[in-house]
């Protein structure tokens, strides 16, 4: 059915007759088409409702293809919504279901700062209030895995930058707080502190922060605030200097830092451990590396054993590959050990960009 007057839009009783497609045609000139259809076709060519048109090429201001403006009122303790969209239960297949899909394929060239460019969905909340304003709120539940909010930027493009999630905040007002990103495990009201990033494990026993390398945990701030990290583990050959880590030293640079380590030995019944901090330094002059490690003392290492001895024969820097230094460990245990290994983390200081490789 083609209609040309708004009065014809309604059928008896002020209700739409959707048993037949309804399409606006001229003289309605605000858009190319407005269609109401009784069904959605399997090839997605026909929809319950379709609106289409083209925005002006030379507007005098920002333009909207569709504007819905609803005025809130009153003060009753119930939410007020300008628009509600729902996808009711019914589908049970393995594909995704989406209540609202927004797609922006425009190719504008604006690239100035955060919040510019071609935006898929822009949300704002600027009401002047003593309450909270939330630009975008998302919540998920009842699935086997639930993402309250997920971001993804994985399309490959040369010389481009992909950022999965970006948070930015600034507040120069008096007695204010600013938080670039707040992450916590909890349901209680948030206690805010100004920081680039705030991480809070709440009342749980989970770590506050975890850092992983290729899904393997290497560093963490544990519940209670202790810092734990393990960059590498190396099985040692008793009384033999065993290289366990390689540190790059670019030509014309100096590098230095600490190896924080534990060496443990056991025979399944008795146990021994040494724990310490090893300073090291290295330079590279025109391809010639010179490295040094500190002499271990009671000030930098301690030992605990259930029986016998675990002796540190010394750390050394042996000959190694070009533009690198290796650090070796030499330990002897009085046990007929089934385990003799070093667990360690390397902390680097200085301006050189280096690579630390477990051996």
311-314 long-range contacts (CB < 8 A, ≥24 apart) are 312/263, 312/274, 312/276, 313/239, 313/241
pLDDT at position 28: 42
Residue 237 confidence (pLDDT) above 50: yes
CA-to-CA distance for 18 and 84, rounded, in angstroms? 21
Q: What mean pLDDT do residues 256-264 have? A: 94
Give the pLDDT mean for 257-271: 96
Write the DSSP assignment of 62-131 as a string of letters. Answer: ---SS----------SS---S------S---SSS---S-------------STT-SS-S---------SS
Q: Cα dihedral angle (300, 306, 307, 311), rounded to 10 degrees?
A: -20
Write the pLDDT tens digit of every residue in 311-356: 999 999 987 789 999 999 999 999 999 999 999 988 888 788 888 8
**Token output for 61:** 């201001």
- Please tell me whether residues 313 and 336 are part of one structural domain: yes
pLDDT on residue 9: 47
Q: Report yes or no on 337 lying in a domain.
A: yes
Task: Indicate whether 66 belongs to any domain.
Answer: no
Domain encompassing residue 338 = 232-358
Q: Are 334 and 309 in contact (CB under 8 A)?
A: yes
Tell me, yes or no, whether 354 and 236 share the same domain.
yes
Query: How high is the pLDDT of residue 313?
Result: 96
**Is 187's pLDDT higher than 60?**
yes
pLDDT per residue as tens digits for the range 44-64 = 888 888 888 888 889 999 999
Q: Is residue 59 domain-resident?
A: no
Same domain, 192 and 219: yes
Do 246 and 188 belong to one domain? no
Burial class (CB in 10 A: 0-12, 13-18, 19+), 330: middle
DSSP 3-state of 8? helix
Q: What burial letters (b/e) apply to 136-150, b meaning 16+ CB within 10 Å?
A: eeeeeeeeeeeeeee
User: CA–CA separation, 35 vs 2, rounded Å?
Assistant: 10
**pLDDT for residue 5:** 45
Q: Are residues 201 and 281 in the same domain?
A: no
pLDDT of residue 66: 86
Check residues 213 and 85 and name the one with the higher pLDDT: 85
Q: How confident is the model at residue 31 (pLDDT cuts 50, 70, 90)?
A: low
Question: Please, which residues have CB within 8 angstroms of residue 263's CB and are 6 or more apart in sequence?
Answer: 236, 273, 274, 275, 310, 312, 329, 331, 340, 341, 342, 343
The number of domains in the chain is 3
Q: Is the per-residue pLDDT at 97 higher than 70? A: yes
**Residues 226, 216: contact at Cβ < 8 Å?**
no
Do 219 and 248 sit in the same domain of this protein? Answer: no
Is residue 75 domain-resident?
no
For residue 124, what pLDDT band results from cuts at 50, 70 and 90?
very high
> Which pLDDT belongs to residue 353?
80
In a domain, 126, yes or no: no
Q: Is residue 85 part of a domain?
A: no
Residues 256 and 329 in one domain: yes
Task: Please report how many Cα atoms fall inside a 13 Å half-sphere around the Cα of residue 196, on the Cβ side.
Answer: 1
Is 241 a residue whose pLDDT tops 90? yes
Of 176, 177, 209, whose CA–CA distance to 193 is shortest? 177
The answer on pLDDT for 286 being more than 90 is yes
Chosen domain end from 182, 212, 229: 229
Asked if residue 153 belongs to a domain, the reply is: no
Average pLDDT in the chain = 88
Are 253 and 191 in a shared domain? no
Model confidence at 7: pLDDT above 50? no
Shared-domain flag, residues 190 and 261: no
Q: What is the mean pLDDT of residues 19-29?
A: 51
pLDDT band at 180 (very low <50, low <70, confident <90, very high): very high
Region label for 30, one of left (φ > 0), alpha (ψ between -120 and 50) or beta (otherwise) = alpha
Do 349 and 311 fall into the same domain?
A: yes
pLDDT computed for residue 170 by the predictor: 94
45 and 23, same domain (yes or no): yes
Q: Is residue 178 part of a domain?
A: yes
Q: How many helices (H) and strands (E) does the chain have?
A: 0, 19
pLDDT confidence bin for 29, thresholds 50/70/90: very low
């Amino acid at each position: 059915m083609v209609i040309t007057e708004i009065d014809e839009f309604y059928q008896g009783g002020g209700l739409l007759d959707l048993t037949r497609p309804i399409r606006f045609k001229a003289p309605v000139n605000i858009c190319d088409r407005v269609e109401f259809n009784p069904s959605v076709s399997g090839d997605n060519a026909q929809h319950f409702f379709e609106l289409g048109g083209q925005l002006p090429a030379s507007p005098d201001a920002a333009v909207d293809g569709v504007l819905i403006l609803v005025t809130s009122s009153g003060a009753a303790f119930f939410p007020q919504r300008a628009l509600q969209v729902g996808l009711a239960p019914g589908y049970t297949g393995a594909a995704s279901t989406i209540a609202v899909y927004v797609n922006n394929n425009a190719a504008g060239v604006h690239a100035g700062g955060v919040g510019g460019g071609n935006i898929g969905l822009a949300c704002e909340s600027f009401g002047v209030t003593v309450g909270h304003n939330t630009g975008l709120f998302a919540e998920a539940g009842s699935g086997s895995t639930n993402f309250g909010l997920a971001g993804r930027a994985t399309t490959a493009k040369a010389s481009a930058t992909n950022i999965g999630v970006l948070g930015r905040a600034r507040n120069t007002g008096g007695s204010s707080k600013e938080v670039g990103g707040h992450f916590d495990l909890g349901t209680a009201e948030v206690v805010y502190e100004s920081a680039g990033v705030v991480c809070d494990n709440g009342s749980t026993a989970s770590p506050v922060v975890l850092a992983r390398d290729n899904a393997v945990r290497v560093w963490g701030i544990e519940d209670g605030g202790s810092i734990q990290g393990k960059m590498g583990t190396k099985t040692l050959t008793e009384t033999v200097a065993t290289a366990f880590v390689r540190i790059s030293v670019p030509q014309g640079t100096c590098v230095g830092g600490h190896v924080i380590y534990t060496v443990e030995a056991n025979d399944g019944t008795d146990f021994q451990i040494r724990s310490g901090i090893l300073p090291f330094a290295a330079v590279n002059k025109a391809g010639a590396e010179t490295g040094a490690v500190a002499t271990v003392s009671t000030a930098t290492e301690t030992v605990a054993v259930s029986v016998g001895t675990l002796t540190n024969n010394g750390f050394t820097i042996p000959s190694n590959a070009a533009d690198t230094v290796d650090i070796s460990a030499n330990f002897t245990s009085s046990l007929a050990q089934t385990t003799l290994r070093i667990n360690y983390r390397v902390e680097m200081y200085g301006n050189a960009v280096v690579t630390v490789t477990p051996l």
